[in-house]
Structure 1
Amino acid sequence: MDGFGAAVKAMRGRLSPRDAGLPAGTGRRAPGLRREELARLAGISVDYLVRLEQGRATAPSAQVVAAVARALQARRPERDHLFRLAGLLPPPDGLVGDHVPPGVARIVARMGEAALAVFAADWSVITWNPLWAALLGEPGERNLLRVVFGSQALVATGAGFEAALVADLRRTAARYPRDPRVAELVADLRRGSARFAELWASGAVGEHASDRKTVDHSAVGPIELDCDVLTVPGDDLRVVVYTAASGTPDAEALASLSRSARSGSAGSSVPPR
Protein backbone atom coordinates (compact mmCIF):
# COMPACT_ATOMS: atom_id res chain seq x y z
CA MET A 1 0.00 0.00 0.00
CA ASP A 2 3.01 2.30 0.39
CA GLY A 3 3.36 2.00 -3.38
CA PHE A 4 -0.15 3.33 -3.91
CA GLY A 5 0.43 6.34 -1.68
CA ALA A 6 3.77 7.12 -3.28
CA ALA A 7 2.23 6.91 -6.76
CA VAL A 8 -0.62 9.24 -5.81
CA LYS A 9 1.80 11.74 -4.28
CA ALA A 10 4.02 11.68 -7.37
CA MET A 11 1.09 12.15 -9.74
CA ARG A 12 -0.30 14.96 -7.58
CA GLY A 13 3.06 16.72 -7.77
CA ARG A 14 3.09 16.83 -11.55
CA LEU A 15 -0.51 17.91 -12.22
CA SER A 16 -0.75 21.61 -13.00
CA PRO A 17 -3.41 23.48 -11.00
CA ARG A 18 -4.48 25.23 -14.23
CA ASP A 19 -5.08 21.90 -15.93
CA ALA A 20 -7.29 20.96 -13.00
CA GLY A 21 -9.29 24.18 -13.32
CA LEU A 22 -7.74 25.76 -10.22
CA PRO A 23 -6.00 29.14 -9.81
CA ALA A 24 -2.22 28.75 -9.59
CA GLY A 25 -2.03 31.54 -7.02
CA THR A 26 1.18 32.42 -5.23
CA GLY A 27 3.12 31.01 -2.35
CA ARG A 28 3.16 27.42 -3.56
CA ARG A 29 6.18 25.69 -2.07
CA ALA A 30 6.02 22.85 -4.59
CA PRO A 31 4.60 22.37 -8.08
CA GLY A 32 1.42 20.41 -8.60
CA LEU A 33 -1.76 20.18 -6.56
CA ARG A 34 -1.99 20.65 -2.83
CA ARG A 35 -3.49 17.79 -0.84
CA GLU A 36 -6.62 19.75 -0.05
CA GLU A 37 -7.10 20.48 -3.77
CA LEU A 38 -6.81 16.84 -4.80
CA ALA A 39 -9.08 15.78 -1.94
CA ARG A 40 -11.75 18.25 -3.05
CA LEU A 41 -11.51 17.16 -6.69
CA ALA A 42 -11.75 13.49 -5.71
CA GLY A 43 -14.56 14.00 -3.21
CA ILE A 44 -12.68 12.60 -0.21
CA SER A 45 -11.46 14.16 3.03
CA VAL A 46 -7.99 15.66 3.32
CA ASP A 47 -7.32 13.45 6.34
CA TYR A 48 -8.13 10.33 4.34
CA LEU A 49 -5.88 11.45 1.49
CA VAL A 50 -3.04 12.03 3.94
CA ARG A 51 -3.50 8.53 5.33
CA LEU A 52 -3.56 7.10 1.79
CA GLU A 53 -0.35 8.87 0.82
CA GLN A 54 1.35 7.83 4.05
CA GLY A 55 0.26 4.19 3.68
CA ARG A 56 -1.88 4.29 6.84
CA ALA A 57 -5.14 3.69 4.94
CA THR A 58 -4.75 0.20 3.55
CA ALA A 59 -7.97 -0.68 1.76
CA PRO A 60 -9.34 2.07 -0.49
CA SER A 61 -12.46 1.06 -2.36
CA ALA A 62 -12.65 0.83 -6.13
CA GLN A 63 -14.81 3.97 -6.08
CA VAL A 64 -12.12 5.91 -4.18
CA VAL A 65 -9.32 4.71 -6.45
CA ALA A 66 -11.34 5.61 -9.54
CA ALA A 67 -12.16 9.06 -8.14
CA VAL A 68 -8.52 9.75 -7.23
CA ALA A 69 -7.33 8.56 -10.65
CA ARG A 70 -9.91 10.76 -12.37
CA ALA A 71 -8.95 13.80 -10.25
CA LEU A 72 -5.28 13.17 -11.07
CA GLN A 73 -6.17 13.02 -14.79
CA ALA A 74 -4.48 9.65 -14.97
CA ARG A 75 -4.20 7.98 -18.34
CA ARG A 76 -5.79 4.55 -18.60
CA PRO A 77 -2.53 2.59 -17.93
CA GLU A 78 -1.82 4.85 -14.94
CA ARG A 79 -5.35 4.32 -13.64
CA ASP A 80 -5.00 0.54 -13.97
CA HIS A 81 -1.64 0.72 -12.18
CA LEU A 82 -3.24 2.57 -9.26
CA PHE A 83 -5.90 -0.13 -9.02
CA ARG A 84 -3.27 -2.86 -8.89
CA LEU A 85 -1.22 -0.98 -6.28
CA ALA A 86 -4.39 -0.76 -4.17
CA GLY A 87 -4.82 -4.54 -4.44
CA LEU A 88 -7.79 -4.26 -6.80
CA LEU A 89 -8.50 -5.46 -10.31
CA PRO A 90 -8.70 -2.66 -12.89
CA PRO A 91 -12.13 -2.10 -14.47
CA PRO A 92 -12.63 -4.83 -17.09
CA ASP A 93 -13.17 -4.23 -20.77
CA GLY A 94 -16.68 -4.55 -22.18
CA LEU A 95 -18.33 -2.38 -19.50
CA VAL A 96 -19.42 1.25 -19.62
CA GLY A 97 -16.43 3.27 -18.52
CA ASP A 98 -16.22 6.32 -16.25
CA HIS A 99 -12.60 7.14 -17.07
CA VAL A 100 -11.98 10.67 -18.38
CA PRO A 101 -8.79 11.05 -20.48
CA PRO A 102 -6.43 13.89 -19.49
CA GLY A 103 -7.19 15.92 -22.61
CA VAL A 104 -10.92 15.85 -21.94
CA ALA A 105 -10.32 16.75 -18.28
CA ARG A 106 -8.32 19.79 -19.40
CA ILE A 107 -11.14 20.83 -21.73
CA VAL A 108 -13.57 20.73 -18.79
CA ALA A 109 -11.16 22.76 -16.66
CA ARG A 110 -10.40 25.42 -19.24
CA MET A 111 -13.73 26.08 -20.97
CA GLY A 112 -14.97 28.55 -18.40
CA GLU A 113 -17.27 30.38 -20.85
CA ALA A 114 -19.27 27.22 -21.62
CA ALA A 115 -21.37 25.08 -19.30
CA LEU A 116 -19.90 21.63 -19.80
CA ALA A 117 -20.27 18.12 -18.39
CA VAL A 118 -18.92 14.68 -19.33
CA PHE A 119 -21.26 11.68 -19.39
CA ALA A 120 -20.60 7.96 -19.67
CA ALA A 121 -22.26 5.93 -22.41
CA ASP A 122 -25.27 5.21 -20.16
CA TRP A 123 -25.74 8.96 -19.51
CA SER A 124 -24.30 8.90 -16.00
CA VAL A 125 -22.59 12.23 -15.36
CA ILE A 126 -18.91 11.85 -14.47
CA THR A 127 -17.61 15.38 -14.13
CA TRP A 128 -18.73 18.95 -14.79
CA ASN A 129 -17.41 22.50 -14.57
CA PRO A 130 -18.62 25.24 -12.19
CA LEU A 131 -20.73 26.98 -14.84
CA TRP A 132 -22.66 23.73 -15.49
CA ALA A 133 -23.53 23.60 -11.78
CA ALA A 134 -24.49 27.29 -11.79
CA LEU A 135 -26.73 26.79 -14.83
CA LEU A 136 -28.35 23.45 -14.01
CA GLY A 137 -27.51 22.81 -10.35
CA GLU A 138 -25.16 20.29 -8.77
CA PRO A 139 -26.15 16.82 -10.00
CA GLY A 140 -27.92 14.84 -7.28
CA GLU A 141 -29.09 11.78 -9.15
CA ARG A 142 -26.14 11.12 -11.46
CA ASN A 143 -27.96 9.35 -14.30
CA LEU A 144 -29.77 11.63 -16.74
CA LEU A 145 -32.36 9.02 -17.74
CA ARG A 146 -33.29 8.39 -14.11
CA VAL A 147 -33.79 12.14 -13.72
CA VAL A 148 -35.86 12.56 -16.89
CA PHE A 149 -38.10 9.54 -16.31
CA GLY A 150 -38.16 9.65 -12.53
CA SER A 151 -39.73 13.08 -11.94
CA GLN A 152 -42.93 14.58 -13.29
CA ALA A 153 -41.24 17.97 -12.94
CA LEU A 154 -39.18 17.15 -16.01
CA VAL A 155 -42.09 16.82 -18.47
CA ALA A 156 -40.88 20.13 -19.96
CA THR A 157 -37.88 18.33 -21.47
CA GLY A 158 -40.19 17.28 -24.30
CA ALA A 159 -41.12 14.08 -26.10
CA GLY A 160 -38.39 14.40 -28.69
CA PHE A 161 -35.68 14.68 -26.04
CA GLU A 162 -37.05 11.66 -24.17
CA ALA A 163 -37.26 9.55 -27.31
CA ALA A 164 -33.70 10.48 -28.32
CA LEU A 165 -32.33 9.49 -24.91
CA VAL A 166 -34.08 6.11 -24.96
CA ALA A 167 -32.95 5.38 -28.52
CA ASP A 168 -29.41 6.28 -27.48
CA LEU A 169 -29.61 3.99 -24.43
CA ARG A 170 -30.76 1.10 -26.61
CA ARG A 171 -27.62 1.57 -28.72
CA THR A 172 -25.52 1.54 -25.55
CA ALA A 173 -27.23 -1.62 -24.29
CA ALA A 174 -26.31 -3.36 -27.55
CA ARG A 175 -22.69 -2.20 -27.27
CA TYR A 176 -22.38 -3.35 -23.65
CA PRO A 177 -24.53 -6.50 -23.36
CA ARG A 178 -22.65 -7.73 -20.27
CA ASP A 179 -22.69 -4.48 -18.33
CA PRO A 180 -24.76 -4.94 -15.14
CA ARG A 181 -25.15 -1.19 -14.62
CA VAL A 182 -26.83 -0.76 -18.00
CA ALA A 183 -29.04 -3.83 -17.47
CA GLU A 184 -30.14 -2.56 -14.05
CA LEU A 185 -30.86 0.90 -15.44
CA VAL A 186 -33.07 -0.45 -18.22
CA ALA A 187 -34.91 -2.84 -15.87
CA ASP A 188 -35.54 -0.13 -13.25
CA LEU A 189 -36.83 2.36 -15.80
CA ARG A 190 -39.09 -0.17 -17.52
CA ARG A 191 -40.65 -1.01 -14.13
CA GLY A 192 -40.85 2.55 -12.86
CA SER A 193 -41.81 4.64 -15.88
CA ALA A 194 -44.66 3.85 -18.26
CA ARG A 195 -43.32 6.48 -20.64
CA PHE A 196 -39.88 4.87 -20.74
CA ALA A 197 -41.40 1.41 -21.18
CA GLU A 198 -43.44 2.70 -24.13
CA LEU A 199 -40.42 4.25 -25.80
CA TRP A 200 -38.25 1.20 -25.10
CA ALA A 201 -40.86 -1.11 -26.63
CA SER A 202 -40.74 0.92 -29.85
CA GLY A 203 -37.30 -0.54 -30.56
CA ALA A 204 -35.89 2.73 -31.88
CA VAL A 205 -32.10 3.00 -32.01
CA GLY A 206 -30.33 6.31 -32.42
CA GLU A 207 -27.86 8.81 -31.05
CA HIS A 208 -28.75 11.82 -28.93
CA ALA A 209 -27.11 14.79 -30.60
CA SER A 210 -27.20 18.58 -30.62
CA ASP A 211 -30.28 20.66 -29.86
CA ARG A 212 -31.41 24.12 -28.79
CA LYS A 213 -32.74 24.38 -25.26
CA THR A 214 -34.18 26.95 -22.88
CA VAL A 215 -33.15 26.96 -19.22
CA ASP A 216 -35.40 28.92 -16.85
CA HIS A 217 -33.02 30.17 -14.17
CA SER A 218 -34.17 31.81 -10.95
CA ALA A 219 -31.43 34.46 -11.02
CA VAL A 220 -31.25 35.48 -14.68
CA GLY A 221 -34.52 34.22 -16.16
CA PRO A 222 -34.94 32.14 -19.33
CA ILE A 223 -31.71 31.50 -21.26
CA GLU A 224 -31.84 30.04 -24.78
CA LEU A 225 -28.71 28.03 -25.47
CA ASP A 226 -27.18 25.72 -28.03
CA CYS A 227 -26.64 22.27 -26.52
CA ASP A 228 -24.01 20.27 -28.41
CA VAL A 229 -23.06 16.67 -27.70
CA LEU A 230 -19.48 15.79 -28.61
CA THR A 231 -18.18 12.23 -28.49
CA VAL A 232 -14.77 10.96 -27.41
CA PRO A 233 -13.74 8.09 -29.72
CA GLY A 234 -12.23 5.11 -27.95
CA ASP A 235 -13.64 6.08 -24.55
CA ASP A 236 -17.35 6.27 -25.46
CA LEU A 237 -17.88 9.49 -23.53
CA ARG A 238 -20.31 12.29 -24.32
CA VAL A 239 -19.22 15.86 -23.68
CA VAL A 240 -22.34 18.05 -23.39
CA VAL A 241 -21.71 21.76 -23.90
CA TYR A 242 -24.14 24.68 -23.48
CA THR A 243 -23.10 27.90 -25.25
CA ALA A 244 -24.63 31.17 -26.44
CA ALA A 245 -23.68 33.36 -29.41
CA SER A 246 -21.43 36.29 -28.44
CA GLY A 247 -23.11 39.63 -28.01
CA THR A 248 -26.56 38.23 -27.23
CA PRO A 249 -28.59 38.65 -24.02
CA ASP A 250 -28.24 34.89 -23.53
CA ALA A 251 -24.45 35.18 -23.63
CA GLU A 252 -24.55 37.97 -21.05
CA ALA A 253 -26.84 35.87 -18.82
CA LEU A 254 -24.41 32.96 -19.08
CA ALA A 255 -21.49 35.27 -18.26
CA SER A 256 -23.42 36.57 -15.26
CA LEU A 257 -23.89 33.01 -14.03
CA SER A 258 -20.18 32.35 -14.53
CA ARG A 259 -19.33 35.32 -12.33
CA SER A 260 -21.88 34.17 -9.74
CA ALA A 261 -20.41 30.66 -9.79
CA ARG A 262 -17.01 32.05 -8.88
CA SER A 263 -18.56 33.98 -5.99
CA GLY A 264 -20.78 31.08 -4.86
CA SER A 265 -24.16 32.75 -5.48
CA ALA A 266 -25.47 31.26 -8.70
CA GLY A 267 -29.12 30.61 -7.81
CA SER A 268 -31.07 27.71 -9.27
CA SER A 269 -32.80 26.57 -12.44
CA VAL A 270 -35.47 24.27 -13.70
CA PRO A 271 -34.56 21.62 -16.27
CA PRO A 272 -34.01 22.69 -19.89
CA ARG A 273 -36.92 22.23 -22.25
Structure 2
Amino acid sequence: MERHEFGVAVRQLRESTAPAAVGLPIGRRRVQGLRREELGELAGMSADYVRRLEQGRSHPSAGVVNAIARALRVGRAEYERLCALAGYAAADGQVPNEVGSGALRLLERFPDTPMFVSDAAMNLIAVNSAFVALGHWELTGDPWDWNVAWRTFCDPFNGFKQSADDATDHEAILAARLRSALLRYPADASLAALVDEMRSRSRLFDTLWRTPRPVVAYESSAAFIHPDGGAVTLVGSLLAIPGDDLAALMLTAAPGSADAARLAEIVDHAGEPAIIRVGQSGPG
Protein backbone atom coordinates (compact mmCIF):
# COMPACT_ATOMS: atom_id res chain seq x y z
CA MET A 1 0.00 0.00 0.00
CA GLU A 2 2.79 2.46 0.93
CA ARG A 3 4.64 1.71 -2.32
CA HIS A 4 1.47 2.43 -4.33
CA GLU A 5 0.80 5.64 -2.40
CA PHE A 6 4.38 6.81 -2.93
CA GLY A 7 4.00 6.28 -6.68
CA VAL A 8 0.72 8.19 -6.76
CA ALA A 9 2.33 11.07 -4.83
CA VAL A 10 5.28 11.25 -7.25
CA ARG A 11 3.00 11.26 -10.28
CA GLN A 12 0.80 14.00 -8.80
CA LEU A 13 3.84 16.14 -8.00
CA ARG A 14 5.35 15.55 -11.45
CA GLU A 15 2.12 16.49 -13.23
CA SER A 16 1.58 19.60 -11.08
CA THR A 17 5.14 20.94 -11.47
CA ALA A 18 5.52 23.69 -14.05
CA PRO A 19 8.58 23.14 -16.28
CA ALA A 20 9.73 26.71 -15.72
CA ALA A 21 9.73 26.12 -11.95
CA VAL A 22 12.54 23.56 -12.35
CA GLY A 23 14.49 25.40 -15.04
CA LEU A 24 13.06 23.67 -18.13
CA PRO A 25 11.75 25.42 -21.28
CA ILE A 26 7.98 25.49 -21.60
CA GLY A 27 7.61 24.93 -25.35
CA ARG A 28 4.63 23.11 -26.85
CA ARG A 29 3.39 20.36 -24.55
CA ARG A 30 0.75 17.68 -24.81
CA VAL A 31 1.04 16.61 -21.15
CA GLN A 32 0.48 18.47 -17.90
CA GLY A 33 3.55 19.27 -15.83
CA LEU A 34 6.77 17.35 -16.46
CA ARG A 35 7.31 14.30 -18.63
CA ARG A 36 8.72 11.17 -17.00
CA GLU A 37 11.82 11.60 -19.12
CA GLU A 38 12.32 15.10 -17.76
CA LEU A 39 11.90 14.04 -14.13
CA GLY A 40 14.29 11.16 -14.75
CA GLU A 41 16.92 13.45 -16.24
CA LEU A 42 16.62 15.94 -13.39
CA ALA A 43 16.76 13.21 -10.74
CA GLY A 44 19.47 11.11 -12.40
CA MET A 45 17.41 8.02 -13.26
CA SER A 46 15.73 6.49 -16.29
CA ALA A 47 12.22 7.29 -17.41
CA ASP A 48 11.41 3.57 -17.15
CA TYR A 49 12.43 3.58 -13.48
CA VAL A 50 10.23 6.64 -12.85
CA ARG A 51 7.37 4.71 -14.48
CA ARG A 52 7.95 1.69 -12.24
CA LEU A 53 8.00 3.94 -9.16
CA GLU A 54 4.75 5.62 -10.15
CA GLN A 55 3.10 2.26 -10.79
CA GLY A 56 4.21 0.93 -7.42
CA ARG A 57 6.40 -1.77 -9.00
CA SER A 58 9.66 -0.63 -7.42
CA HIS A 59 10.57 0.48 -3.90
CA PRO A 60 12.76 3.60 -3.78
CA SER A 61 15.89 3.96 -1.69
CA ALA A 62 16.27 6.96 0.59
CA GLY A 63 18.66 8.45 -1.98
CA VAL A 64 16.04 8.12 -4.72
CA VAL A 65 13.45 9.88 -2.55
CA ASN A 66 15.89 12.73 -1.91
CA ALA A 67 16.77 12.97 -5.61
CA ILE A 68 13.11 13.19 -6.65
CA ALA A 69 12.38 15.80 -3.98
CA ARG A 70 15.35 17.90 -5.15
CA ALA A 71 14.41 17.52 -8.81
CA LEU A 72 10.83 18.66 -8.22
CA ARG A 73 11.95 21.35 -5.74
CA VAL A 74 9.18 20.40 -3.34
CA GLY A 75 8.56 22.18 -0.05
CA ARG A 76 9.45 20.75 3.32
CA ALA A 77 6.01 19.29 4.04
CA GLU A 78 5.90 17.43 0.68
CA TYR A 79 9.42 16.15 1.24
CA GLU A 80 8.40 14.80 4.66
CA ARG A 81 5.36 13.15 3.08
CA LEU A 82 7.42 11.45 0.38
CA CYS A 83 9.85 10.16 3.01
CA ALA A 84 7.03 8.83 5.16
CA LEU A 85 5.33 7.09 2.22
CA ALA A 86 8.64 5.46 1.29
CA GLY A 87 9.22 4.37 4.90
CA TYR A 88 12.11 6.68 5.77
CA ALA A 89 12.74 9.53 8.17
CA ALA A 90 13.65 12.79 6.46
CA ALA A 91 17.35 13.32 5.76
CA ASP A 92 17.91 15.84 8.54
CA GLY A 93 14.72 15.27 10.49
CA GLN A 94 14.61 18.81 11.85
CA VAL A 95 11.38 20.70 12.50
CA PRO A 96 11.10 23.39 9.79
CA ASN A 97 10.57 26.91 11.13
CA GLU A 98 10.72 29.19 8.10
CA VAL A 99 7.84 31.65 7.73
CA GLY A 100 6.70 30.96 4.18
CA SER A 101 4.80 33.28 1.87
CA GLY A 102 1.49 31.58 2.68
CA ALA A 103 1.90 32.25 6.39
CA LEU A 104 2.86 35.87 5.77
CA ARG A 105 -0.15 36.44 3.53
CA LEU A 106 -2.45 35.00 6.18
CA LEU A 107 -1.04 37.35 8.82
CA GLU A 108 -1.28 40.31 6.45
CA ARG A 109 -4.90 39.69 5.52
CA PHE A 110 -6.25 39.67 9.07
CA PRO A 111 -4.56 42.65 10.75
CA ASP A 112 -7.42 43.14 13.24
CA THR A 113 -7.51 39.49 14.32
CA PRO A 114 -4.97 38.36 16.94
CA MET A 115 -2.99 35.60 15.27
CA PHE A 116 0.25 33.68 15.54
CA VAL A 117 2.05 31.16 13.34
CA SER A 118 3.77 28.18 14.96
CA ASP A 119 5.91 25.32 13.73
CA ALA A 120 5.15 21.63 14.18
CA ALA A 121 6.78 21.66 17.64
CA MET A 122 4.41 24.47 18.75
CA ASN A 123 7.07 27.20 18.78
CA LEU A 124 5.77 30.63 17.85
CA ILE A 125 7.72 31.96 14.86
CA ALA A 126 5.61 34.96 13.83
CA VAL A 127 2.79 37.00 15.37
CA ASN A 128 0.82 40.07 14.37
CA SER A 129 0.53 43.26 16.38
CA ALA A 130 -3.08 42.45 17.31
CA PHE A 131 -1.82 39.35 19.14
CA VAL A 132 0.90 41.31 20.93
CA ALA A 133 -1.74 43.86 21.99
CA LEU A 134 -3.47 41.25 24.15
CA GLY A 135 -0.53 41.68 26.53
CA HIS A 136 -0.59 38.21 28.09
CA TRP A 137 2.57 36.65 26.59
CA GLU A 138 5.13 37.80 29.12
CA LEU A 139 8.63 36.37 28.76
CA THR A 140 10.32 34.62 31.67
CA GLY A 141 13.77 33.90 30.24
CA ASP A 142 13.10 30.17 29.96
CA PRO A 143 14.64 28.36 26.94
CA TRP A 144 11.14 27.44 25.74
CA ASP A 145 9.58 30.85 26.34
CA TRP A 146 7.96 30.87 22.90
CA ASN A 147 6.61 27.31 22.97
CA VAL A 148 2.83 27.07 23.41
CA ALA A 149 2.88 23.59 24.91
CA TRP A 150 5.62 24.42 27.40
CA ARG A 151 3.85 27.59 28.51
CA THR A 152 0.60 25.67 28.94
CA PHE A 153 1.87 22.70 30.93
CA CYS A 154 5.03 23.96 32.65
CA ASP A 155 5.03 27.77 32.76
CA PRO A 156 1.40 29.03 32.56
CA PHE A 157 0.48 32.62 31.74
CA ASN A 158 -1.09 34.72 34.48
CA GLY A 159 -3.26 36.50 31.92
CA PHE A 160 -4.75 33.41 30.28
CA LYS A 161 -7.74 31.67 31.91
CA GLN A 162 -9.84 28.75 30.66
CA SER A 163 -12.78 26.73 31.89
CA ALA A 164 -12.15 23.08 32.76
CA ASP A 165 -13.74 21.88 29.50
CA ASP A 166 -11.80 24.33 27.32
CA ALA A 167 -8.55 23.52 29.13
CA THR A 168 -9.16 19.82 28.49
CA ASP A 169 -9.62 20.45 24.75
CA HIS A 170 -6.58 22.76 24.60
CA GLU A 171 -4.33 20.28 26.41
CA ALA A 172 -5.44 17.39 24.19
CA ILE A 173 -4.65 19.41 21.04
CA LEU A 174 -1.16 20.34 22.23
CA ALA A 175 -0.24 16.82 23.33
CA ALA A 176 -1.51 15.36 20.05
CA ARG A 177 0.44 17.87 17.96
CA LEU A 178 3.68 17.23 19.85
CA ARG A 179 3.23 13.46 19.52
CA SER A 180 2.67 13.85 15.78
CA ALA A 181 5.71 16.13 15.46
CA LEU A 182 8.00 13.66 17.22
CA LEU A 183 6.83 10.86 14.92
CA ARG A 184 7.55 12.99 11.84
CA TYR A 185 10.86 14.41 13.10
CA PRO A 186 12.50 11.63 15.15
CA ALA A 187 16.00 13.06 14.59
CA ASP A 188 15.22 16.49 16.09
CA ALA A 189 17.13 16.25 19.36
CA SER A 190 15.75 19.53 20.68
CA LEU A 191 12.16 18.38 20.14
CA ALA A 192 12.91 15.12 21.95
CA ALA A 193 14.48 17.10 24.81
CA LEU A 194 11.40 19.31 25.06
CA VAL A 195 9.08 16.31 25.30
CA ASP A 196 11.31 14.61 27.89
CA GLU A 197 11.50 17.76 30.00
CA MET A 198 7.76 18.31 29.81
CA ARG A 199 7.06 14.72 30.84
CA SER A 200 9.40 15.20 33.79
CA ARG A 201 7.99 18.58 34.84
CA SER A 202 4.26 18.06 34.22
CA ARG A 203 2.38 15.06 35.52
CA LEU A 204 -0.62 16.07 33.41
CA PHE A 205 1.42 16.14 30.20
CA ASP A 206 3.05 12.81 31.02
CA THR A 207 -0.40 11.28 31.53
CA LEU A 208 -1.61 12.69 28.20
CA TRP A 209 1.52 11.42 26.49
CA ARG A 210 0.96 7.90 27.78
CA THR A 211 -2.83 7.94 27.38
CA PRO A 212 -3.83 10.56 24.80
CA ARG A 213 -7.27 12.14 24.93
CA PRO A 214 -9.21 12.25 21.67
CA VAL A 215 -9.16 15.62 19.90
CA VAL A 216 -12.75 16.60 19.18
CA ALA A 217 -12.16 20.02 17.57
CA TYR A 218 -9.07 22.14 16.99
CA GLU A 219 -10.37 25.15 18.90
CA SER A 220 -11.00 26.28 22.47
CA SER A 221 -12.06 29.41 24.33
CA ALA A 222 -10.06 31.49 26.81
CA ALA A 223 -10.25 34.77 28.72
CA PHE A 224 -7.27 37.05 28.11
CA ILE A 225 -6.60 39.40 31.03
CA HIS A 226 -5.25 42.65 29.60
CA PRO A 227 -2.58 44.54 31.61
CA ASP A 228 -5.11 47.32 32.23
CA GLY A 229 -7.20 44.81 34.22
CA GLY A 230 -9.95 44.21 31.67
CA ALA A 231 -10.65 40.82 30.13
CA VAL A 232 -11.75 39.67 26.70
CA THR A 233 -12.96 36.15 25.90
CA LEU A 234 -11.81 34.80 22.54
CA VAL A 235 -12.05 31.50 20.67
CA GLY A 236 -8.80 30.15 19.24
CA SER A 237 -9.12 28.21 15.97
CA LEU A 238 -6.12 26.26 14.69
CA LEU A 239 -5.58 26.27 10.92
CA ALA A 240 -3.03 24.21 8.97
CA ILE A 241 -0.73 25.98 6.49
CA PRO A 242 -0.04 23.36 3.79
CA GLY A 243 3.41 23.08 2.28
CA ASP A 244 5.40 24.49 5.19
CA ASP A 245 4.23 22.23 8.05
CA LEU A 246 3.13 25.29 9.99
CA ALA A 247 -0.12 26.21 11.73
CA ALA A 248 -1.88 29.48 12.46
CA LEU A 249 -4.04 30.23 15.48
CA MET A 250 -6.74 32.87 14.98
CA LEU A 251 -8.41 34.43 18.02
CA THR A 252 -11.93 35.74 17.40
CA ALA A 253 -14.89 37.06 19.41
CA ALA A 254 -18.56 36.48 18.74
CA PRO A 255 -19.77 39.11 16.22
CA GLY A 256 -21.63 41.98 17.86
CA SER A 257 -20.66 40.89 21.37
CA ALA A 258 -19.13 42.96 24.14
CA ASP A 259 -15.95 40.91 23.68
CA ALA A 260 -15.81 41.92 20.00
CA ALA A 261 -16.08 45.59 20.97
CA ARG A 262 -13.43 45.17 23.66
CA LEU A 263 -11.10 43.41 21.21
CA ALA A 264 -11.54 46.24 18.69
CA GLU A 265 -10.49 48.74 21.37
CA ILE A 266 -7.40 46.72 22.29
CA VAL A 267 -6.31 46.33 18.65
CA ASP A 268 -6.99 49.99 17.88
CA HIS A 269 -4.66 51.06 20.68
CA ALA A 270 -1.91 48.83 19.24
CA GLY A 271 -1.27 51.31 16.43
CA GLU A 272 -0.29 50.42 12.87
CA PRO A 273 -0.64 46.72 11.94
CA ALA A 274 2.64 44.84 11.87
CA ILE A 275 4.03 41.31 11.58
CA ILE A 276 6.68 40.37 14.13
CA ARG A 277 9.01 37.42 13.73
CA VAL A 278 9.69 36.17 17.20
CA GLY A 279 12.83 34.43 18.43
CA GLN A 280 12.69 30.90 19.77
CA SER A 281 15.40 28.64 21.08
CA GLY A 282 13.37 25.46 21.35
CA PRO A 283 13.01 22.70 18.72
CA GLY A 284 13.36 23.50 15.08
1:173–1:182: 8 Å Cα contact kept in structure 2?
Answer: yes
Residue 174 to residue 161, structure 1, CA distance change in 2 (3 Å) = same
* 1:222 aligned residue: 231
The residue that corresponds to 1:5 in the other structure is: none
Q: Is the 8 A contact 1:133 1:139 kept in 2?
A: no
**How far apart are the structure 2 equivalents of 1:92 and 1:109?**
33
Residues 92, 255 of structure 1: alpha-carbon distance in 2 compared, 3 angstrom cutoff:
farther
Q: Please report how far the alpha carbon of residue 220 of structure 1 lies from its aligned counterpart in structure 2 after TM superposition.
A: 6.5
Describe the SS at the equivalent of 2:134. helix
Q: What is the aligned residue count? A: 177
CA contact (8 A) 2:236 2:252 kept: yes
Aligned counterpart, 1:145:
149
Alignment of 1:12-161 (within 5 A): 94-138=93-137, 140=139, 141-151=145-155, 156-157=161-162, 158-161=167-170
Q: Percent identity?
A: 29
Shift of 1:105: 0.9
Indicate yes or no: 2:180 matched with 1:171.
Answer: yes
Q: Shift of residue 168 of structure 1? A: 2.0
Matched-pair contact (CA < 8 Å) for 2:138–2:157: no
User: Deviation at 1:107?
Assistant: 2.2
Q: Is residue 180 of structure 2 the alignment partner of residue 180 of structure 1?
A: no
Contact 2:225 2:231 in 1 (8 A): yes
Contact 2:136 2:157 in 1 (8 A): no
Q: Match for 1:106: what amino acid?
A: R
Q: Deviations over 1:153-180 (max 9, x none)?
A: 6694423322321122111111111111
Superimposed CA distance per residue, residues 125-173 of structure 1 (whole angstroms, 9 cap, x where no aligned partner): 0010111011144563111111111136669442332232112211111
Please, which of 208, 211, 235 is the counterpart of residue 202 of structure 1?
Answer: 211
CA distance in 1, matches of 2:104, 2:134: 20
Equivalent position SS for 1:234: coil
CA, structure 1 residues 240+179, in 2 after alignment: closer, same or farther (shift >3 Å)?
same
Q: CA RMSD in A?
A: 3.0
Q: Within 5 A, what are the aligned runs for 1:247-258?
A: 247-258=256-267
Contact 1:208/1:229 (8 A) holds in 2 = no
Bigger radius of gyration:
2
1:89-108 deviations in Å (ceiling 9; x for gaps): xx965321111111321321
Q: 2 CA distance for matches of 1:207 and 1:174?
A: 21
Structure 1 spans left out of the alignment, 5+ residues = 1-74, 78-90, 264-273
Q: Is the 8 A contact 1:167 1:207 kept in 2?
A: no
Distance 1:192 1:104 in 2: 32
TM-score, with length taken from structure 1: 0.57
Asked if the contact 2:97–2:119 (Cα under 8 Å) also holds between the matched residues in 1, the reply is yes
Distance 1:175 1:76 in 2: 15
Question: Is 2:115–2:249's contact at 8 Å kept on the other side of the alignment?
Answer: yes
Rounded to whole Å, the distance in 2 between the matches of 1:221 and 1:179 is 41
Per the alignment, residue 63 of structure 1 pairs with none
Q: Output the TM-score relative to the length of structure 2.
A: 0.55
Distance in structure 1 (CA, Å) of the matches to 2:137 and 2:152: 15
8 Å Cα contact 2:136/2:226 also seen in 1: no
SS at match of 2:259: helix
The Cα shift of 1:246 comes to: 3.3
- 2:242 aligned with 1:233, yes or no? yes
